[in-house]
Amino acid sequence: MSDTASPSDPLGVLDADTLRSVADALWQSELDVQAIPEEVRAALLSETNSPEAYGKRMQSFLRYLGEHPVEHTPSYEKTYEHLLPYCSRLSPQQAYAISMNLLGPPASVGYDMVPAKAGFEFPRDFGPKPRSAVGWHFFVGSCWDEDGAEYGVELMFFQAGIFPPPLAAGFGLTEDENQVVEVQLAVSKAGEGHWQADPVCLGGTSGLVSHTANPFSYSVGRNSMACQDADEFFPITVKAWGVDRGESPSRELSVDITFTEGKQYLFQGVDGCMPAVDGLGSLYYSIPNISLDPTSSTLTLAGRTVRLVRGQFWFDRQWGYISGVSRSKVMRALTFSKDPSPAGWDWFMAQFTGDRQVTVSATHASERAEYYEQTGPEHPGTMTVRVGGTYMDADRTQALTWGTLRVTDWIKAVSSPNPERYAVTDTWYPNRWEFEFDDVVPEDIRRVTMTPIVQVAQVGFFAAGAQYAEGAVILTDPDGTDIGRGFAESVAYADTRATVHRLAGLPDSQAHIDSLSHRTTPKTLAMLNIAYVLAHQAELAEVLGESVGLEFFTPPAS
């Protein structure tokens, strides 16, 4: 990272990875400083956007956290002390990697809590929520070109508030300036391959992140989502460009798609709370069965642009936080009365013939630990999981459904969008999913198999370091008949702690990584918390009684 800028290199004060994100956000193969709008250059060179300012703010936050421990939660005081000397100068991505991975549950205090009633209003709730810890706008789906070639497309804008809003205001940041936003773009071509663009990761201080309320639009440089009419979501045009640097030569990919209409809103969980438990959880809605405009939708891959003639997409909008600290002492004590569950989840959407949809998920659990972080020569065996979610019929009626999932094939993650930044993990990921749903789902689609459209792992990385698999799948019934398309997502199967440390600017020695890992709850704290929970059963029952959406995470007895 340069300490000073020269007249010929005015942005030399910024680190190389930030400059790469700036170039990618502006769709420049090589950074052209003169082509950057003057107001953006001013923001990039502002004191607020400087590495020193990001470092000073993070150090202040670490000191604050150390001085304000939260009862009934594990202590991160040594972690904060350890991080301090590494945080004098930080890029937005380094601050993001630290904030998302290393600060622990106490760092979630101060963000907006998740209410037990979503109360969605549109177009208000199209836009980003800068007072939440995290949130995302997410389009995935299948599409076909004029020659009949099939593609899977993923586009996501993922936002994170680096500091709790009251603290950010104390630093002189606006709520938008407090954000780091990353762009996830990936494309698969049936029978060929899967490519993920090197993630764009920029701070709200960069001048490159903006949004409007009505009509809704959201931009990260030239990457954008833009509604065309006030008060309405459709039509909406999405544009994104990026470079997969995992191959030589690198491969450019882009999308320019106009979505014309979709099915009604699907409020996930209980009226959009998925879940809401003592302030934790998320607000979450989807729009299934989205159509594209064949007159104005294209996809470019490795220099070849194709016109898309049809497509079937899905939109997810979710914000809040799943992990963190609850409002009440008794819920915090309950949460930290045992070791934390493994991070990660599996999520699926299926769009069947006859305009019927199923979306289900399952969080990772300790009893399935033998299937996570597996890198050996032999793949794991069959994994059986209970999944829960929502079925929507052609008449738009919604109902809770449960099913049993069997993962019967696995594939290794051997690619990276930028191996110098995101190390190849060689981790085994699910690659074939066999579902059997309950009788809420019609009999002809009750048993379904998901198979990827490609023979390689559809894996990618978040800019904060986590790896995931996400890709288009074909839906077939027990007879092998094609009955639709979907997307399958597997998150946090790989141990990427070394990558996280590298992205955060920290030493990647195993000893250093282990010193900052919190994979267990101290036994003394667990015992004290168990005693506290036992002594406050009435309070716990009251808190749980006010919570909503837990039934989506509590499988019925077999």
Can you tell me the mean pLDDT for 213-241? Answer: 98
Alpha helices (H) in 11-84, listed in sequence order: 16-25, 38-44, 51-67, 77-83
pLDDT at res. 3: 44
Can you tell me the mean pLDDT for 225-233? Answer: 98
SS3 72: coil
In the structure encoding, which two tokens stand for residue 537, read together? 């059963």
The predicted-structure confidence for 173-199, as pLDDT tens digits, reads as follows 999 999 999 999 999 999 999 999 999
- Rounded Cα distance between 92 and 352, Å, is 41
Q: Which range, of 5-19, 170-184, 347-361, 478-492, averages the lowest pLDDT?
A: 5-19
Q: How confident is the model at residue 322 (pLDDT cuts 50, 70, 90)?
A: confident
- Rounded Cα distance between 496 and 354, Å, is 41
pLDDT at res. 558: 60
The full DSSP string for 243-301 is EE-SSSS-EEEEEEEEEEE----EE-TBTTEEEEETBEEEEEEEEEEEEE-TTS-EEEE
pLDDT at res. 104: 94
Closest to 300 in 3D by CA, of 17, 27, 35, 26: 27
pLDDT at res. 511: 85
Q: How confident is the model at residue 8 (pLDDT cuts 50, 70, 90)?
A: low
Can you tell me the mean pLDDT for 434-438? Answer: 98
Can you tell me the mean pLDDT for 287-300? Answer: 98
Can you tell me the mean pLDDT for 413-419? Answer: 98
The pTM (predicted TM-score) of the whole model is 0.96
Residues of the chain above pLDDT 90, percent: 93
Judged against a pLDDT cut of 50, whether residue 353 lies above it is answered with yes
The predicted-structure confidence for 141-164, as pLDDT tens digits, reads as follows 999 999 999 999 999 999 999 999
pLDDT at res. 351: 98
SS3 412: strand
User: Considering the chain, what is the average pLDDT of its residues?
Assistant: 96
Strands (E), 148-204: 150-161, 179-189, 193-196, 200-203
The sign of the torsion formed by the CA atoms of 285, 466, 255, 41 equals: positive
pLDDT at res. 12: 86
Q: How confident is the model at residue 323 (pLDDT cuts 50, 70, 90)?
A: confident
Residues contacting residue 436 through CB under 8 Å, at least 6 positions apart: 403, 404, 446, 447
Judged against a pLDDT cut of 90, whether residue 519 lies above it is answered with no
Judged against a pLDDT cut of 90, whether residue 130 lies above it is answered with yes
- Rounded Cα distance between 280 and 167, Å, is 20
Judged against a pLDDT cut of 50, whether residue 387 lies above it is answered with yes
Judged against a pLDDT cut of 80, whether residue 557 lies above it is answered with no
Can you tell me the mean pLDDT for 255-282? Answer: 96
In the structure encoding, which two tokens stand for residue 553, read together? 């995470």
Can you tell me the mean pLDDT for 401-408? Answer: 98
Residue 454, CB-side half-sphere exposure with 13 Å CA sphere: 25
Composition of the chain by helix, strand, coil, percent to 5: 25, 35, 40
Can you tell me the mean pLDDT for 469-482? Answer: 98
pLDDT at res. 1: 38
539 class by beta-carbon count within 10 Å (0-12 exposed, 13-18 middle, 19+ buried): middle
